[in-house]
Structure 1
Amino acid sequence: MAKVYLINTNKNNNPDCEDEMLQNQKCSAYYTPWKYYIDTIEANDVVFLYSSGEGIIARGLATGIVEVNDYEGNENEEHYMNLNRFELLNSPLPAREVTAIIREIAGDDFDIQWNQTMILLAEHFGRKVWQQITRYCIH
């Protein structure tokens, strides 16, 4: 069964990271320990790219192949994975809406700590978020 991840685009630390992820249709993480989180993603896992202050801005399916790049002049500090079926959303799905979608299933006590590099979501939560994006955020 595919896993579902929310991956922060690192916009607050370096806006170029988000631009590169979108242009190259990939998800990335930088430096230890965060870069190793990318290594846990498997082929066909669902990836939502999350931009701080905006919400989910893109989605795709992981290739399962981890790539490594230098970052900010430091050797092998970016781990990334290309995303198949990559789609840039016409309008972001804000964090509060993602939380509301999941609370419809999980109840009002459910919350997401959005200030993380990578967040694993239950598959049925991810399916509902995917459906919401398909209905309202991609034209």
Structure 2
Amino acid sequence: MRKAYIINTNLTNRPGGETEVDMLENEKCAAYFSPWKEKIHQILPNDLVFLYSNGKGIIARGIATGVVEVADYLNEDGLHPDEEYYMNLNRFEMLFNPITSSDINDIIGRKIVLAPTMVSLKYEEGLKLWQAITKEYLN
């Protein structure tokens, strides 16, 4: 059964924005270190994925390939082998204007907490977000 996910770009933990920039430039979603990185395995082919930037909102969207890849992760503490799990996203698009958390709640019709690394939505809720982006948030 298809689902939708909102993935946090990790801006709070990486205030320099390196992880967010990496996700945007490489058209992927990612998570780092256990137990968060393993959550990427929940995403299946053709699931809808939205990238969420703290303080801004949803900044990009794509469709999951379903293939989890592993990479080394470099931060101020040094190189951490195999600590990034990521998935490339098809039909990747960055939004012209972010969708704020209050707008997300209005669009899907319920209040969600966006603090976790990954928030799961019903496919129908994700589809509402996808359609709202198509109508109002792309250039």
Could you state the TM-score of these two structures normalised by the residue count of structure 2?
0.93
Write the distance in 1 (CA, Å) between the matches of 2:113 and 2:103: 14
Q: Which runs of 4+ in 1 moved over 3 A?
A: none
Write the distance in 1 (CA, Å) between the matches of 2:123 and 2:66: 17
Q: What amino acid is aligned across from residue 104 of structure 2 in structure 1?
A: V
- Residue of structure 1 equivalent to 2:87: 81
Unaligned runs of 5+ in 1: 104-109
Q: Quote the offset at 1:90 in angstroms.
A: 0.8
Q: What secondary structure does 2:66 align onto?
A: strand
Q: Does 1:91 align with 2:82?
A: no
Q: What secondary structure does 2:10 align onto?
A: coil
Q: Quote the offset at 1:84 in angstroms.
A: 0.3
Q: Quote the offset at 1:113 in angstroms.
A: 1.2
Write the distance in 2 (CA, Å) between the matches of 1:74 and 1:120: 27
- Residue of structure 2 equivalent to 1:59: 61
Write the distance in 1 (CA, Å) between the matches of 2:66 and 2:111: 28
Q: How does 1:1-139 map to 2 (within 5 A)?
A: 1-14=1-14, 15-72=17-74, 73-103=79-109, 110-139=110-139
Could you state the TM-score of these two structures normalised by the residue count of structure 1?
0.93
Alignment length (residue pairs): 133
Unaligned runs of 5+ in 2: none
Write the distance in 1 (CA, Å) between the matches of 2:41 and 2:127: 22
Write the distance in 1 (CA, Å) between the matches of 2:101 and 2:56: 7
Point out the more displaced range, 64-73 or 20-29: 64-73
Write the distance in 2 (CA, Å) between the matches of 1:31 and 1:114: 19
Q: Quote the offset at 1:111 in angstroms.
A: 1.8
Write the distance in 1 (CA, Å) between the matches of 2:127 and 2:65: 19
Q: What secondary structure does 1:56 align onto?
A: strand
Write the distance in 2 (CA, Å) between the matches of 1:44 and 1:94: 24
Q: What amino acid is aligned across from residue 33 of structure 1 in structure 2?
A: P
Q: What secondary structure does 1:39 align onto?
A: helix
